Amino acid sequence: MIKGIIFDLDGVICFTDKLHFAAWKQAVEPLGIAFDEQTNDKLRGVSREQSLEIILRQNNVTLPAERKAAICRVKNEIYKSLLCDMSPADVESDVRQTLIELNKLGVKLAVGSSSKNTKFILRRLDLTKFFDAVVDGEMILRTKPDPEVFLKAAELLCLSPCDCLVVEDAVSGIDAGNAGGFVTVGIGAAANYSATRHPIRKLSEVLTLV
């Protein structure tokens, strides 16, 4: 019996791909570093620092640690300024209604995301009230596919991994869920991943799994 659900944030609860793309583009292109949508797609589910490493590797660029840290700070400031335009209207009706129904059923809910802006985004979208626990990039040492973020969320929910669904849109997130002993649910690109236990096309389909 499923007692809890841990959701990834971006690509599952909300969609900020375009904002990440715009922020990275503004941060790196003035430095002569190319960035396109194909590279952006490779950044799903990984930390800001790891994302920059992928971008630099794509461009065969090597930078000192302090320069990379500065670029990450610039990207995050741009991204946060774009997030300020988000509102509850940016949440799809299927997502909000699913969270309402799960709360009514008494299922414990958490967010497990490597984003350090998770709590800010949830506040902007008026979604904080739906979750019993939030684990973000400020609370973990290792990012997906390491299962740390999901294991910490399950601990905060006082549940065992086997009693929880992990809902992810990224392959790295599915790998993290499987590694932690969770029941994995894939949406978006992760719905087509062979290691996904339950593929879904829209979030409300998780209601059939509880």
Place 24 in a pLDDT band, splitting at 50, 70 and 90: very high
Whether 199 shows a pLDDT value over 90: the answer reads yes
Active site (annotated) includes residue 36: no
Chain segment 26-65, per-residue pLDDT in tens:
999 999 999 999 999 888 767 889 999 999 999 999 999 9
Across the chain, what does the average pLDDT equal?
A: 95
- Cα dihedral sign, 52-120-80-171: positive
Question: Who contacts 37 (Cβ-Cβ below 8 Å, separation ≥6)?
Answer: 21
Q: What is the Cα–Cα distance from 87 to 16, expressed in whole angstroms?
A: 12
Whether 168 shows a pLDDT value over 90: the answer reads yes
Which amino acid makes up residue 104? Answer: K
Q: What is the Cα–Cα distance from 64 to 69, expressed in whole angstroms?
A: 9
* pLDDT given at position 41: 85
Q: What is the Cα–Cα distance from 174 to 186, expressed in whole angstroms?
A: 7
Is domain 4-15+90-209 in CATH 3.40.50.1000, yes or no?
A: yes
Lookup: tokens for 119: 């709590």
- Nearest Cα neighbor of 23 from 84, 69, 74 is 74
* pLDDT given at position 43: 87
Chain segment 184-194, per-residue pLDDT in tens:
999 999 999 99
Selected catalytic residue, list 8, 136, 169, 175: 8
Going from N- to C-terminal start, the domains of the chain cover 4-15+90-209, 17-83
Selected catalytic residue, list 10, 136, 169, 175: 10
- Look up the CATH superfamily of 17-83: Putative phosphatase; domain 2 (1.10.150.240)
Which residues does residue 184 pair with via DSSP β-bridges, in sequence order? 166
Whether the link from the prior residue into 145 is cis, omega within 30° of 0, is yes
Chain segment 101-160, per-residue pLDDT in tens:
999 999 999 999 988 899 999 999 999 999 999 999 999 999 899 999 999 999 999 999
Active site (annotated) includes residue 169: no
* pLDDT given at position 116: 87
CA 132, 133, 136: angle at the middle one, nearest 5? 155
Which amino acid makes up residue 120? Answer: F
Lookup: tokens for 166: 């992990």
